[in-house]
Structure 1
Amino acid sequence: MNQPRLVRINWIGPFAPDKVPVNPEYDDNFGLYQIYGIHEVFGPQSLLYIGKAEHLSFAERINQHLSNWLSSNSDAQVRLGLLHPKDYKHEPKDWSDWKQLLRDTEALTIFWHTPPYNSRNISHYSGPTLRVQNFGQRGRLLPEFSTDWVPPKPMDSDEE
């Protein structure tokens, strides 16, 4: 098996959805984000959604959610995650390594945590081998998870 690629994420927040900061440092406006709020089954401050701000900034992505489903959740909070600069290649023209790493990390994070408002990447992960470490204000995310071990998922039938 290949050695997993290390991905370190520093999380900040929580922020109210309409108070997501815009950093003067351009690169700090993009990465992963988590949305927490009230869920009918899981209760208050549940992890509802994991997303990525790849082409649009954090604030622009959260505003998209506000104009759809997020505005009706009075308890909503957002956490922002930045990939550690040493974990990806710096390519100023198109940032293809960062973009792919962001997509893969989002997919693996969704797979491991199965937030109820995500629809993709819930049942499987087919990307490269990764080892993700979460630092800072990580919320309910595990401190570390990887492709080396797959979390057990409930079966749809009564068979064992």
Structure 2
Amino acid sequence: MEHIENKLIQIHWDGPFKLIDLPSLTNTETDYGIYQIYGKHITYGSYVLLYIGKADRQTLGLRIAQEGWLDTNDSNNTKIYVGRLHGSKNPTEQEWSEEIDLAERLLIYVHKPAYNARSLSTLRDAEMQNIHILNWGHHRDLLPELSGTRWTSKMDYFDYQVYRWNN
């Protein structure tokens, strides 16, 4: 099996924010990334993960405000967490955009938010196999760490052997 380097995507999460806080998330230098929305769902209950989205080439505040379904009968209790990507060096705009896209797709696939049902079938398996995500800060219900190695078909045909004690 050839060795392929994992692509590490680190996300620092802040929140919770309310809908009235969205205008504060429009810094054109830093407010891009991933967001999670929590609220009431008729089947799953109160304060559950409803949606994961991305803000790429427009700020988090502008993108989240475009989510028309957020204005519900319980919108005062909607909680939003925003994730900004970080690392040891600043990426190009293209690299940043690709990382935002990859992170959003793997997070949706693994966590299966109620309002992302359409996105669950769009995981491009081969592209995700070497993605590794670390969630830092206030990541709420997201797993602190996840990888494409675990959540794709990468290991489906790996020849496993049970360890044995050799004397």
TM-score, scaled to structure 1:
0.82
Q: Which runs of 5+ in 1 are unaligned?
A: 152-160
**One-letter amino acid matched to 1:49:** Y
> Residue by residue, what CA displacement relative to the aligned partner does 1:102-158 show, whole Å, maximum 9, x if unpaired?
10111001000011111343135212421101010001000000011128xxxxxxx
**One-letter amino acid matched to 2:139:** R
**One-letter amino acid matched to 1:97:** E
Runs of 4+ in 1 over 6 A off after TM superposition: none
**One-letter amino acid matched to 2:13:** W
Q: CA RMSD of the aligned region, Å?
A: 1.8
The change in CA–CA distance for 1:121 and 1:4 in structure 2 (over 3 A counts) is farther
| Contact 1:8/1:135 (<8 A) preserved | yes
Q: Which runs of 5+ in 2 are unaligned?
A: 153-167
* 2:80 alignment partner in structure 1: 78
The answer to whether 1:134 aligns with 2:135 is: yes
Shift of 1:17: 1.6
| Contact 2:34/2:84 (<8 A) preserved | yes
Q: Which structure is higher in helix share?
A: 2
Shift of 1:48: 0.5
What's the secondary structure of 1:27's corresponding residue?
Answer: coil
* 1:9 alignment partner in structure 2: 11
Match of 1:118 among 116, 119, 122: 116
Cα separation, 2, equivalents of 1:116 and 1:109: 13
* 2:37 alignment partner in structure 1: 35
How many residue pairs match? The answer is 144
Question: Higher Cα Rg: structure 1 or 2?
Answer: 2
The answer to whether 1:22 aligns with 2:25 is: yes
